[in-house]
Amino acid sequence: MELRHYLQFRDFSLDEYEYLFARTLWIKDKFKRYEPYQPLVDRTLAMVFEKHSTRTRVSFEAGMNQLGGSVITLMTRDTQMGRGEPLEDVARVISRMVDVIMIRTFEQSIIERFSSNSRVPVINGLTNEYHPCQIMADIFTYIEHRQSLKGKTVAWIGDSNNVCYTWLQAASIFDFKVHVSTPPGYELEAAALAGIDTAHFETFADPHEAARGADLVTTDVWTSMGFEAENDDRKRDFEDWQVDADMMRLAKPDALFMHCLPAHRGEEVAAEVIDGPQSVVWDEAENRLHVQKALIEFLLLGRTIV
């Protein structure tokens, strides 16, 4: 089978996402019925974490176990990587011992170097630039609630971070539009927009204008992992970029609210929104489990007949 990695959202086509979502529905249904589905007995997933995680770790570990496989979790500081072993050597060694690898790390270039030395599929569990598994779960969740994202508008309020750039990659694949509003000094970076279709996003100085008429309003922490030194400045600079009930009222009446979590109530989102009726954040978090099971199955077994 051809070796495939999942390093950024555009690594898969619309046809492949449609297949993955069909598999996700089937896998999720089996899970809800407590019916075992274990096509990956004797297969092993290694997870490498250079940053903290709750959802990514639990969803990948539970998911691989549910598929019949096993999991090894490595925190880099506990391994020889933490003592300077070259990444390329680590990739060569681990990929001779396991069947699939998930990494959460800093620069996208790290995961690219790692995957080009790996014999097995590598999955991006978040880098500074992208978080593709998150957006796969988010789009699956939107479709579960509202059937289709085609032609719709997603309002991104806040930081131009990994989750934001992944939404932008997804927009041209799923044919929706992203309204992006970031505070001055935190705008989208030209270099990071290379290859992103400008017809699928628009920037707004005023977050309320970005939210106006949106079908989905979404945000993320003001300070991502790795940028903690900027936290105090960001709290000041992002003050007007909180998704609150007034902002949600500008969106469509049936608009949904999403947040990849962890959330900071009172900062990027008001409690009344994240804990309110338009919020689907818990479905969004749960769906990480189901979409990633479909992803692992696809990378290891290819297309299977339902």
CB 131 within 8 A of CB 284: no
Encode burial over 131-163: b for 16+ CB neighbours within 10 A, e otherwise: bbbbbbbbbbbbbbeeeebeebbbbbbbbbbbb
- Considering only 5, 28, 45, 53, the residue that binds ligand CP (CB under 6 A) is 53
Question: Which one of residues 123, 126, 136, 173 is an interface residue with ligand CP (CB under 6 A)?
Answer: 126
Identified catalytic residue from 134, 169, 242, 292? 134
177 binds, among ligand CP, ligand NVA, none (CB under 5 to 8 A by kind): none
Q: Which is nearer to ligand NVA, 161 or 292 (CB)?
A: 161
Active site residue 80: no
Nearest to 104 by CA among 63, 140, 55, 139: 55
Q: CA-to-CA distance for 63 and 294, rounded, in angstroms?
A: 9
Q: Which residue has the tokens 């339902």?
A: 306
**Could you tell me the smallest distance in angstroms from the CB atom of residue 263 to ligand NVA?**
10
| Interaction partner, residue 54 (ligand CP, ligand NVA, none; CB < 5-8 Å by kind) | ligand CP
List the structure tokens of 14.
Answer: 């619309």
CB of 136 to ligand NVA, least distance (A): 14
Stretch that binds ligand NVA, among 19-27, 183-191, 218-226, 284-292 (CB under 6 A): 218-226
Residues, the chain, total? 306
Token code pair at residue 281: 């954040």
**143 binding partner (options ligand CP, ligand NVA, none; Cβ < 5 to 8 Å by kind):** none
Determine how many CB atoms are found less than 10 A away from the CB of residue 115: 21
- Identify which of residues 250 and 261 has a Cβ nearer to ligand CP in the complex: 261
Task: Give the residue, chosen from 28, 55, 179, 234, that forms a contact with ligand CP under the rule CB under 6 A.
Answer: 55
CA distance 249 to 254: 10
How far is residue 154's CA from residue 303's CA, in Å, rounded to a whole number?
30
Contact 274, 190 (CB under 8 A): no
Residue type, 274: I
103 is an interface residue for ligand CP by CB under 6 A: no
Which residue, 159 or 172, is less far from ligand CP as judged by CB? 159
Radius of gyration for the chain, computed over Cα atoms and rounded to the nearest angstrom: 19
C-beta of 159 vs 215, nearer to ligand NVA? 159
The pattern of x and - marking residues 140 through 179 that bind ligand NVA according to CB under 6 A reads ---------------------xxx----------------
At 50, the amino acid letter reads E
Question: Distance (Å, rounded) from C-alpha 79 to C-alpha 37?
Answer: 33
Closest-by-Cβ residue to ligand CP is 56
Contacts of residue 18, defined as CB under 8 A and 6 or more positions apart, other chains included, come to none
* Interaction residues for ligand NVA, span 99-128 (CB under 6 A): 126
Closest to ligand CP by CB, 8 or 172: 8
Q: Does position 105 bind ligand CP by CB under 6 A?
A: no
Q: Point out which residues bind ligand NVA (CB under 6 A).
A: 126, 161-163, 220-221, 224-225, 260
Catalytically active residues, by annotation: 104, 131, 134, 220, 260, 288
Q: Point out which residues bind ligand CP (CB under 6 A).
A: 53-56, 126, 134, 260-262
